[in-house]
C-alpha cells in the first residue's frame, strides 16, 4: 500500500489529500443570507433601510454617471439647478439607458424620444405625445432620494415611508478643523469578505508586516507595512456594541517596557467601519478620533466598492504623514495593495488587502474554512449581522438617545498609548486585557453625554488610568 493513502476511514484527513478535496470548492454552497444583495433578498432589503454611498461628487459632470448598486442599474446626475438625481437607468418609455440622457435645468431628458424626468421620478415632458395628452400624469419613473456630503453622493433605496435621517457621527465633524477627503476602492469580490477584514485585526501583523515585509526593498517595505508597532501580535477582545447593531475589537500591545498601546476599531451594521489611526505613528498617539470612515457597498453579489473619507487633522496625524493628493477614485493613501492597479507579479511579491481578499474567490465558501481562535471576531460579525438582518436584535438605545437630544452619534474607535510598566512575574497579557477593558469602558461612558462633552471626558478618564491607576467615578 502506498504510505500516503493510509487513512481509509477519512481519506480527506491525510497528507496528499488533493484527490479527495478537489471538488469541494466548486461544489460548496455560499451563505446567501449574508452575501446576496438584490431586491427582495434578506441582506438587500436590510441594507436598503440605510443611506448608502453610490458615487463620488466629482463623478457628476455635464453627463450622467451609470452605476450599479445593490444589484440595481442606476444613473446618477446633478441637474443644472444643483440637485442630485438617482434614477432607474432605463427610460420608462422604451428602455433606452439614461446614461446617454441630456442633463436639464430640472432633471434629465432621455435622448431617444425626449421624455424629461425630475429627480423624484415625475415626468415633466413627453415631447412626442400630443399636447393635450395627460399620459405623463399617470407614470412615475423609478427614483431614489439622494444628497451630497463631503464629496460623496448618498441614496436611500428602501421604502420611502421608512426613510431615516442620515447617521451623523461625532467623527464626521470633530475636530472642528478636520477635513474629510473622499475616496473609493473597487474590489472584484463579494462585499462581506472585505467588510469582515476590518474586524480581523490579526492580519495586520501578518499580511501587513511579518510575513513578507522583511524580504522587500526598503521603498516597497515602507509602502506595504503598517509600521513597527503593528508587528507584535496583539491581545484582542471582540464585543457587540449598540445592543448588537455593531461590534468592536480592542487590541492591546506592549510597545516598550513602560508603555502599552490600546487600539479600538468599530463596525456599525450593515456596512460602516470607523478605523483609528492609519499612520505609522499610531503606537505613539493618544486620541479619540478616526483616521478613516468606510462604507462597504455591494455592487452586486460578486463585486463591491468601498466609499469612504480619509480624515485629516493634527490630532489623528500630527506628523502630517497622510497625503490628500493620493485619495480619490479607486485610490487611497493607506498602504500599497488596496486596489487592482498593480501588476500580478507586484501583487505576488508584496500582497496587500486586495490580493488577499479577492483571491478568496468571488464569494467566500464559509463551509470550507477551518477557523481558529484568531477568527472569533469574524464569526461574531457574521452571527450579529445575521441577527440584525432577521430583525432579532433589540433597539439601538445609544443611537436613539443621541437622536432625541438632537446630537451627533458617539463612536468608539481610538488609539491610547498609556504608561503601564512591565511587572516581573506578572501575566502581561492579563495586564493588557485589563487595560483594554478600562479604555473600552471609558469610551462607552461617553454614550450618555452630549456630543460636545464626550472628547474632554474621554481624555480626562484616559489620563486617570495612565500609569496603571484607575479612578472610579
| Among the ranges given (90-104, 255-269, 439-453, 457-471), the one the predictor scored with the smallest mean pLDDT | 457-471
Kindly report, residue by residue over 397-427, the tens digit of the pLDDT.
878 888 888 899 999 999 999 998 999 888 9
For each of the domains in the chain, give its residue range(s) and CATH number, in order of start. 51-161 (2.102.10.10), 170-465 (no CATH)
Kindly report, residue by residue over 449-469, the tens digit of the pLDDT.
999 999 999 999 998 888 666
Q: What pLDDT does 465 receive?
A: 84
The grid cell for 271 is 456596512
Locus of grid cell 510597545: 255
Is the confidence at residue 1, as pLDDT, over 50?
no
Is the confidence at residue 141, as pLDDT, over 50?
yes
| 259-278 mean pLDDT | 94
| Among the ranges given (72-86, 121-135, 172-186, 329-343), the one the predictor scored with the smallest mean pLDDT | 329-343
The pTM for the full model equals 0.91
Is the confidence at residue 287, as pLDDT, over 90?
no
Q: What pLDDT does 149 receive?
A: 98
Kindly report, residue by residue over 148-159, the tens digit of the pLDDT.
999 999 999 999
Cβ contact 440:264 at 8 Å: yes
Q: Which residue has the higher pLDDT, 226 or 433?
A: 433
| 347-365 mean pLDDT | 92
Question: What are the helix and strand counts (H, E) for the chain?
Answer: 13, 20
Residue 164, number of CB atoms within 10 A of its CB: 11
Q: What pLDDT does 321 receive?
A: 87
Q: What pLDDT does 211 receive?
A: 55
Q: What pLDDT does 374 receive?
A: 86
| Among the ranges given (28-37, 194-203, 221-230), the one the predictor scored with the smallest mean pLDDT | 221-230
**Distance of alpha carbon 395 from alpha carbon 244, whole angstroms:** 9
Average pLDDT value over all residues in the chain: 90
Is the confidence at residue 57, as pLDDT, over 90?
yes
Q: Which residue has the higher pLDDT, 333 or 5?
A: 333
Is the confidence at residue 230, as pLDDT, over 70?
no
Cβ contact 204:225 at 8 Å: no
Is the confidence at residue 473, as pLDDT, over 50?
no
Which range scores top for mean pLDDT: 182-196, 209-223, 342-356, 393-407? 182-196
Is the confidence at residue 209, as pLDDT, over 70?
no
**φ, ψ for residue 316 (rounded to 5)?**
-80, -25
Is the confidence at residue 164, as pLDDT, over 60?
yes
**Distance of alpha carbon 77 from alpha carbon 85, whole angstroms:** 5
Is the confidence at residue 142, as pLDDT, over 90?
yes
Q: What pLDDT does 153 receive?
A: 98
Q: What pLDDT does 221 receive?
A: 46
Spell out a b/e string for 107-127, using b for 16 or more CB atoms within 10 Å of the CB, else e: bbbbebeebbbbbebbbeebe
Amino acid at each position: 500500500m502506498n504510505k500516503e493513502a493510509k487513512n481509509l476511514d477519512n481519506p480527506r484527513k491525510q497528507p496528499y489529500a488533493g484527490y479527495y478535496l478537489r471538488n469541494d470548492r466548486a461544489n460548496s454552497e455560499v451563505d446567501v443570507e449574508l452575501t446576496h444583495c438584490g431586491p427582495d433578498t434578506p441582506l438587500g432589503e436590510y441594507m436598503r433601510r440605510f443611506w448608502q454611498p453610490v458615487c463620488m461628487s466629482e463623478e457628476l459632470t455635464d453627463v450622467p454617471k451609470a452605476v450599479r448598486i445593490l444589484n440595481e442599474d442606476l444613473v446618477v446626475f446633478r441637474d443644472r439647478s444643483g440637485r442630485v438625481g438617482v434614477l432607474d437607468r432605463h427610460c420608462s418609455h422604451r428602455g433606452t439607458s439614461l446614461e446617454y440622457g441630456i442633463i436639464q435645468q430640472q432633471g434629465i431628458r432621455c435622448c431617444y424620444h425626449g421624455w424629461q424626468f425630475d429627480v423624484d421620478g415625475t415626468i415633466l415632458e413627453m415631447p412626442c405625445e400630443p399636447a393635450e395628452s395627460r399620459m405623463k400624469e399617470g407614470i412615475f419613473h423609478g427614483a431614489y432620494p439622494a444628497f451630497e456630503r463631503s464629496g460623496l453622493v448618498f441614496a436611500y433605496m428602501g421604502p420611502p415611508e421608512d426613510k431615516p435621517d442620515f447617521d451623523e457621527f461625532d467623527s464626521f465633524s470633530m475636530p472642528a478643523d478636520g477635513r474629510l477627503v473622499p475616496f473609493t476602492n473597487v474590489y472584484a469580490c463579494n462585499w462581506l469578505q472585505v467588510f469582515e477584514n476590518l474586524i480581523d485585526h490579526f492580519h495586520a501583523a501578518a499580511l501587513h508586516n511579518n510575513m513578507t515585509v522583511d524580504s522587500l526593498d526598503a521603498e516597497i517595505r515602507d509602502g506595504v507595512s503598517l509600521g513597527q508597532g503593528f508587528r507584535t501580535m496583539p491581545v484582542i477582545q471582540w464585543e457587540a456594541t449598540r445592543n448588537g447593531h455593531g461590534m468592536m475589537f480592542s487590541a492591546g500591545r506592549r510597545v516598550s517596557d513602560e508603555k502599552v498601546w490600546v487600539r479600538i476599531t468599530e463596525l456599525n451594521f450593515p456596512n460602516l467601519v470607523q478605523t483609528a489611526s492609519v499612520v505609522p505613528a499610531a503606537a505613539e498617539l493618544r486620541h479619540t478620533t478616526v483616521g478613516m470612515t468606510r462604507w462597504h457597498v455591494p455592487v452586486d453579489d460578486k463585486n463591491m466598492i468601498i466609499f469612504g473619507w480619509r480624515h485629516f487633522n493634527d490630532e489623528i496625524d500630527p506628523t502630517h504623514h497622510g497625503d490628500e493628493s493620493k485619495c480619490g477614485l479607486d485610490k487611497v493613501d493607506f498602504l500599497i495593495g488596496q486596489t487592482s492597479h498593480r501588476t500580478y507579479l507586484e501583487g505576488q511579491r508584496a500582497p496587500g488587502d486586495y490580493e488577499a481578499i479577492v483571491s478568496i474567490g468571488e464569494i467566500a465558501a464559509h463551509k470550507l474554512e477551518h477557523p481558529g481562535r484568531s477568527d472569533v471576531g469574524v464569526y461574531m460579525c457574521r452571527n450579529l449581522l445575521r441577527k440584525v438582518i432577521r430583525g432579532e436584535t433589540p433597539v439601538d438605545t445609544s443611537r436613539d438617545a443621541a437622536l432625541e437630544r438632537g446630537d451627533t452619534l458617539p463612536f468608539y474607535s481610538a488609539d491610547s498609548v498609556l504608561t503601564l510598566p512591565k511587572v516581573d512575574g506578572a501575566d502581561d497579557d492579563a495586564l493588557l486585557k485589563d487595560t483594554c477593558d478600562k479604555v473600552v469602558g471609558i469610551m462607552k461612558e461617553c454614550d450618555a453625554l452630549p456630543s460636545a462633552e464626550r472628547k474632554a471626558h474621554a481624555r480626562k478618564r484616559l489620563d486617570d488610568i495612565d500609569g496603571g491607576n484607575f479612578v472610579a467615578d
